[in-house]
Amino acid sequence: MKGDYRIGDLARATDMAVETVRYYERIGLLPEPPRTTGNYRLYGDGHLHRLRFIRRARALGFHLDVIRDLLGMVDRPDQPCASIDQLARAQMAEVDAKIADLTRLRAELAHVANQCHGGTVRECRIVEALSGGEGESLPAAASTGA
Amino acid sequence: MKGDYRIGDLARATDMAVETVRYYERIGLLPEPPRTTGNYRLYGDGHLHRLRFIRRARALGFHLDVIRDLLGMVDRPDQPCASIDQLARAQMAEVDAKIADLTRLRAELAHVANQCHGGTVRECRIVEALSGGEGESLPAAASTGA
DNA sequence: CTTGACCCTGTAGTGGCTACAGGGTCCATC
DNA sequence: GATGGACCCTGTAGCCACTACAGGGTCAAG
């Protein structure tokens, strides 16, 4: 149950880049480990678990400052867990909003892409659609005064 | 059809920040306009249309380097428009992939959030779910050797 | 004793802006 | 003609979450 990993071991075990592990230490997400005589970082299982937690939360889209909050709660296990639940639900709402945005985007893109009937750029309706949607034409760069 | 906008007018007309307009100029997306005697930028309708094009493409999620390509094509209107269509379709594929990712994420988050039954953090199954999914417990920070 | 894998610190870069600081211009009003 | 305020200028630094060096040190195997 002790561990004793060097940073490379830890990185492999969590599928992270070594630099990312040092970065998390620098910004205070991962506690500074003890060092060997040769000044190598030496991690234990606690670090490993904490890092896995961070990685999983990142994979679920949590921002690092939210993860910092989550870790702070995890470090006070006698507190009620309602606030953790709240963060999880806020995260879900954010993801829902993003999906909605992207779905709208997708429809617009499909519309735009369907305008193309394969002539020259001059006739391309995609360009028109991107130029404002109301069919205005876009003057060439030559006329923009560069 | 001439225009003569100052940067603030242009920004208002395209609903962008003034700094963003200057930024686009700096990175070469928007051609440098002529200046007044007082060294103010003076834009014409060409700039306005080009900026609208950029904004709309950004709103559809295109990266600036792709937009740079699109503008390059627009500036050569006699070329075939197939490559524009291709960029639009690539963009759609990217959006589809993002939606798929987020949908998976959403399901996972819902699963995680549903674990909470309102006790203390110690008993919180959300924490467990974030700690690796296989029910391992996460040691407190005190044991990680900070 | 050399090779090569690994580790260290520190700094700078990514994208797409955004936010200043510290000044200059222009126009209306007193 | 002085003043105020809205606007403009350049240049630099910050945001997020890393990533990529440069330039060195450590350590075990051969």
How many angstroms separate the CA atoms of A7 and A35, rounded? 11
Cβ neighbours around B132 below 10 Å, total: 16
B61 in the same domain as B1 = yes
A86 in the same domain as A56 = no
B90 in the same domain as B71 = no
- Would A69 be classed as within a structural domain? no
How many angstroms separate the CA atoms of B133 and A104, rounded? 33
Residue with smallest Cα–C1' gap to D27 = A38
B93 in the same domain as B63 = no
Instruction: Compare all CA atoms of chain B with the CA of A99 and give the residue at the minimum distance.
Output: B99
A90 in the same domain as A57 = no
B32 in the same domain as B86 = no
Distance from CA of B81 to the nearest CA of A (A): 4
The 10 Å CB-count burial string (b at 16+, else e) for A6-27 is ebeebbeebebeeebbeebbee
- Would A74 be classed as within a structural domain? no
The list of chain A residues with pLDDT below 50 reads: 133-146
A36 in the same domain as A90 = no
User: Residue A31 — left, alpha, or beta (φ > 0 → left; ψ -120 to 50 → alpha)?
Assistant: beta
Q: Each residue of B1-41: pLDDT tens digit?
A: 567 999 999 999 999 999 999 999 999 999 999 999 999 99
Q: Each residue of A87-107: pLDDT tens digit?
A: 999 999 999 999 999 999 999
- When divided into structural domains, chain A yields a total of 2
In angstroms, what CA-CA distances link B119 with A41, A84, A141, B78, B128?
A: 36, 11, 64, 68, 13
Confidence of residue B69 (pLDDT cuts 50, 70, 90): very high
- Which of B60, B79, B98 represents a domain boundary (last residue)? B79
B112 in the same domain as B68 = no
Does the CB of B35 fall within 7 Å of any strand C atom?
no
pLDDT, residue B52, reads 95
- Three-class secondary structure of residue B31 per DSSP: coil
B89 in the same domain as B48 = no
Distance from CA of B66 to the nearest CA of A (A): 13
- Would A36 be classed as within a structural domain? yes
pLDDT, residue A116, reads 80
CATH for B64: 1.10.1660.10
- Would B88 be classed as within a structural domain? yes
Structural domain of A57:
1-63
- Would A102 be classed as within a structural domain? yes
Q: Each residue of B88-145: pLDDT tens digit?
A: 999 999 999 999 999 999 998 998 888 888 888 888 888 888 886 433 333 333 333 3
- Would A7 be classed as within a structural domain? yes
The burial of B45, by beta-carbon neighbours within 10 Å (0-12 exposed, 13-18 middle, 19 or more buried), is given as: middle
pLDDT, residue B131, reads 82
B71 in the same domain as B1 = yes
Provide the whole-model pTM: 0.82
Residue B131 and residue A88 in contact, taking contact as beta carbons nearer than 8 Å = no
pLDDT, residue B35, reads 97
Establish if A89 touches chain B: CB-CB under 8 angstroms.
Answer: yes
Contact B95 A109 (CB under 8 A): yes
- Would B143 be classed as within a structural domain? no
pLDDT, residue B1, reads 55
- Which of B79, B102, B119 represents a domain boundary (last residue)? B79
| Mean pLDDT computed over B57-68 | 94
B96 in the same domain as B74 = no
Distance from CA(A6) to C1'(D20), angstroms, rounded: 21
Contact B77 A53 (CB under 8 A): no
For chain A, give the secondary structure using H, E and C. Answer: CCEEECHHHHHHHHCCCHHHHHHHHHCCCCCCCCECCCCCECEEHHHHHHHHHHHHHHHCCCCHHHHHHHHHHHCCCCCECHHHHHHHHHHHHHHHHHHHHHHHHHHHHHHHHCCCCCCEHHHCHHHHHHCCCCCCCCCCHHHHCC
Enumerate residues 6+ apart whose C-beta is below 8 A from B114: none
Contact A84 B131 (CB under 8 A): no
How many angstroms separate the CA atoms of A96 and A62, rounded? 14
Question: B interface mutation test: which of A43, A73, A124 has the most B CBs within 10 A?
Answer: A124
- Would A93 be classed as within a structural domain? yes
A48 in the same domain as A6 = yes
